[in-house]
Amino acid sequence: MDRIAITGGARLEGEIPISGAKNSAIKLMAASLLTEEPLRLTNMPRLADTRFLGKLLRRLGTDVEEQDGPEGGETLLTTREIVSGFAPYDLVRQMRASFNVLGPLLARTGQAKVSLPGGCTIGARPVDLHLKALEALGAKIDLHEGYVYAQAPRGLKGGEVEFPFVSVGATEHTLLAAVLADGETVMRNSACEPEITDLADCLNKMGAKVSGAGTPTITVQGVSRLSGTTHAVLPDRIETGTYALAVAMAGGEVRLTRTRSDFIQALVDKMIEAGVDVSPNADGLTVKRNGGRLKAVEIHTDPYPGFATDLQAQFMALMTLADGESVIRETIFENRFMHAPELGRLGADISVHGGEARVRGVAALEGAQVMATDLRASVSLVIAGLAARGETIVNRVYHLDRGFERLEEKLGACGGQVRRLKGESVEPEVD
C-alpha cells in the first residue's frame, strides 16, 4: 500500500491549478443514467471515487469513455439502455455517493435494487432522508438483507419534500429523481452548496426544469425525457481551501488558479483573521505568508455558506502552530476529530471533548509516522508535514487518492518536498 513522505521546511512558491470538484463530478456522472443520449463532462478530476462510480455505471449499462480535452480531463457517458437495475454491495461499499444511482434508476425504469452503503468512519450518515424523499415522490421502498428494493411501476410523481435537517446528499438525490417525475416537486430546507447549483445547471441543460437551486427551496417541474449535453464541472472548493491552507502552513506565496474564492469565503475570512494574506483575483486567489506567527482563531463548521466541515481537519493542522488557543467546533459529523491524535504524534497539543477541540499552538512540529483515517484527515497530515521538522510519512493514502488529483505533483511544482512511496505501509506504533 502506498505512503506519502513529506520533508518539512520548504516554502511554497508558484501556481497551482485547481481540479474539477469531486463532490460535483460524481453526482453529474449519476445524471447520465437519466438519458439515452451522451453526457459529456469536462474539467473532470481523475480520482479513485470517479473510477469507482464509473465501474458501477458500466455495470448498469453506461458506456464510460475518458479522454483528454483542451482544458483537462473529459468523460463521455452514454446510457442508451439500462441493462441492470442492480447495484451490488461490493461496488456501492467502495463509495457512499454511489448509492445515489437509486433515484435515477427508479426515475428512468421504475425499479431498482441498490445496496445500502454501510457505515462511515466520520459518522452514521444515514440514508433515511433519501428514502423518505423517494417515498414522497410515490416510490414503494422495501429493505431486505442490506438492500433497498424500490419500485414505481407507473413512474414517480411530483410531491412535497421537506428535509428535517440540511443534507447535501439527500438534496442531490431527490433532485436526480424529481426531474423525470410527473408534476411539480417542491424541496424545502434544501442544501445550498455550489455543487447543488452545478447539478441543477447541468440538468437544466439536459432539458430539466429546476429553479431555486442554491436556496433552501428548490422547485422542479418534471419532464418526460432528458437529452444529452456538455457541462464543465465547477472548481473544487475543498481542494482550493486545502492548498490555501498548505501555503499558510508552509509559508511562501502561491497563486491558485481555475477556481473561485467566493466558494470558500468563510475560510478566507478566518485565514485573514489568523494573519494570512489572501487576495482574490479573476482566476482564483493568491495566498501569501512571509514570516510572523499565526494567530489562534475560533471556528465552527456549518452548512454552506458556513465553514465547510471538509476543511476542518486542514484548518486544525494550521492552528497547531498558531499563537494561543484556538477552539474548533464540529457541528456536521460526529467522530470527525480522528486526525487529532495523529497530529499529536507530530507534537501538536490538542484536546477533544465531544464536538469541540481545543488546539494550543506549539513552537514547532516534528516529523513522524502517522496514519490517515479518512479523506480530509489524510491531507491535514500532509499539510502539517510541510511545516514539521524532518520527515513525515503518511500511511493509508488510499483515502487521499479518493479526493485529490496529482497532489504530489502540484505541491512539488511549488517546491514542496512530497513524494509517494510504493509498497507496504508501516503502521505507526501505539504509544
Catalytic residues, which ones?
A: 120
Rounded distance, CA 84 to CA 208, Å? 24
17 is in an annotated binding site: no
Question: Is residue 410 packed enough to be buried (19+ CB in 10 Å), middle (13-18) or exposed (0-12)?
Answer: buried
What cell does 146 get? 442490506
Nearest to 404, CA basis, from 369, 387, 379: 379
383 is in an annotated binding site: no
Angle made by CA atoms 276, 319, 379, in degrees to the nearest 5? 95
- Binning the chain into helix, strand and coil, the percentages to the nearest 5 are 35, 30, 40
127 is in an annotated binding site: yes
What is the DSSP track for 359-404?
A: EE--S--B--EEE--SHHHHHHHHHHHHHSBSEEEEE-THHHHTT-
Rounded distance, CA 250 to CA 245, Å? 9
Rounded distance, CA 345 to CA 394, Å? 11
332 is in an annotated binding site: yes
196 is in an annotated binding site: no
128 is in an annotated binding site: yes
What order do you get walking across the sheet with 417-421 strand by strand?
369-371, 391-395, 3-7, 417-421
100 is in an annotated binding site: no
104 is in an annotated binding site: no
What cell does 388 get? 514539521
CB contact at 8 A, 248 and 271: yes
Instruction: Show binding-site residues for UDP-N-acetyl-alpha-D-glucosamine.
Output: 96, 125-129, 310, 332
Instruction: Show binding-site residues.
Output: 22-23, 96, 125-129, 310, 332
Instruction: Show binding-site residues for phosphoenolpyruvate.
Output: 22-23
